[in-house]
């Protein structure tokens, strides 16, 4: 691999995402403070969903006084802003890679989304399938139910792990 000479492309991408996030917040009258930006960076840096306490440990490297409320408050904010999602099955958090981030579909910052969670390697992919969202909405309405938020999480094996055979790549 190439050394981390100046700035790896991934780091650049994260910095760009942070700047976009700051703009998006500002446009809504919210502020992505230094602390919140720091937490968001940690989430975006992680290759997989991260637990709140894992974030806390990392955060303490830069901010010795950090405590659970520190990270939970930041995460609450980031979720409200649609920058981060919570993965219920994992009690963990992941950066939004859906429409908000890439402007793929026409949804707002509280967009419908679904997670594909690989039991083999831990990779978690966010998708935004309108048929799923519509089917769930219709099913709820058929029961007289008025939905506000929906969680869809699928556990299984990702394409890479399926291709790699039984064991799957390192369950990192």
**Residue 80 near a copy of itself by CB under 8 A:** no
Q: Mind giving me the DSSP string for 69-122?
A: HHHHHHHHHHHHTTSEEEEGGGTEEEE--SHHHH--SS--TT---EEEEETTT-
Q: Name the binder of 74 from DNA, a copy of itself, Zn ion, none, CB < 5-8 A by kind.
A: DNA
If binding means CB under 7 A, how many residues of this protein chain bind DNA?
24
How far is residue 26's CA from residue 14's CA, in Å, rounded to a whole number?
18
Backbone angles phi, psi at 57, to 5 degrees: -60, -45
Q: Which is nearer to a copy of itself, 77 or 115 (CB)?
A: 115
* Structural tokens at position 4: 């981390």
Give the contact letters, 115-144, x = binds to Zn ion (CB under 5 A), - = no. Answer: ---x-xx-x---------------------
Residue closer to Zn ion by CB (options 17, 66) is 17
How far apart are CB 2 and Zn ion at their closest, in Å?
A: 25
Instruction: Tell me which of DNA, Zn ion, a copy of itself, none is bound by residue 44, counting a contact when its beta carbon lies within the kind-specific cut-off of 5 to 8 angstroms.
Output: none
- Coil, helix or strand for 85? strand
DSSP 3-state of 47: coil
Tokens of 95: 């950066």
Q: Is 3 in the site for DNA (CB under 7 A)?
A: no
Q: Which helix (H) or strand (E) holds 83?
A: none
Q: Which is nearer to DNA, 86 or 137 (CB)?
A: 86
Residues that bind Zn ion (CB under 5 A): 96, 98, 113, 118, 120-121, 123, 158, 161
């Amino acid at each position: 691999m190439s050394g981390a000479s100046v700035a790896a492309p991934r780091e650049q991408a994260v910095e760009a995402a942070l700047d976009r996030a700051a703009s998006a917040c500002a446009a809504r009258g919210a502020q992505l403070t230094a602390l919140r930006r720091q937490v968001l960076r940690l989430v975006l840096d992680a290759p997989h969903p991260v637990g709140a306490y894992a974030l806390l440990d990392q955060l303490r490297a830069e901010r010795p006084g950090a405590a659970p409320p520190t990270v939970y408050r930041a995460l609450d904010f980031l979720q409200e802003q649609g920058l981060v999602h919570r993965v219920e099955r994992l009690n963990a958090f992941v950066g939004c890679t859906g429409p908000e981030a890439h402007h793929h579909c026409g949804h707002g910052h509280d967009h419908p989304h679904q997670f594909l969670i690989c039991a083999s390697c831990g990779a978690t992919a966010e998708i935004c399938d309108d048929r799923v969202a519509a089917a769930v909405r219709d099913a709820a309405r058929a029961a007289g139910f008025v939905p506000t938020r929906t969680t869809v999480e699928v556990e299984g094996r990702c394409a890479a792990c399926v291709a790699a055979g039984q064991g799957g790549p390192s369950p990192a």
